[in-house]
Structure 1
């Protein structure tokens, strides 16, 4: 006879296999150099924007290998779950969290598109200014730092096989 516990017991959450990669994304996005040398505002919005930037670059790399499409979906679901938890921890209620999560997912989707712009391009520069500094022109040294670090991170990701990336607990070559 099957016990009720076994009948209703669910297996491990498959998204948890991406938890180390998610933690690496957050670690890279929270590295002090973005906020000090890069002059990205160290605010809730600035942190979200940095997580979105790093997340977009990682998802772009994962998308290059269709065999790992599910890993990208799982990583995105961890992003959503973490943002939901962070908002609840700050004190947002159920009525607000859903709308805010929708906005955040929309913002990530938009960034996935604009952050495909080539390294050093005017398009990438404009997207970074619009998203990281909310359209306010940053100090040239800060923007140059962020542009260089984005190029370095993208190169590091390109050199990493996607099969290794989706199981990574750190992003090779990234400062974070």
Structure 2
């Protein structure tokens, strides 16, 4: 059975051949400006522009927890903007991460990855500013992507 591949490095620079989807978690209030999205925006303008338009026009689209927006950044590189956190601040309702929304988004992402014949690349989604723990997210990635035969690489600094 396939496993998640862990590597050191930058998830915005996947070093494999073929079609690649870079997956990351976004908030549900239209905020783009901290964390991994900064690395994405330094490389490509499209993911941020598409996310902002998706949020702006949310009355007429599927923007919301669990939704996925696939944005083509290069010929063989797509970015998956996945809505997996409620707001941006830790407060009385706990941390912003919403594991059920990440699960739904990963399930939707799997369909796109299979359709494109793509591998999936990500930081430890939902575990930075969203405040989640990898021990809760990793099984979702394994269940929704790896078990369906989708190659997954997780990037980290350590």
Q: Do they superpose with TM above 0.5?
A: no
More strand by share: 2
TM-score normalised to the size of structure 1?
0.29
Larger Rg, first or second structure (1 or 2): 1
Higher relative contact order (CA 8 A, sep 6+): 1
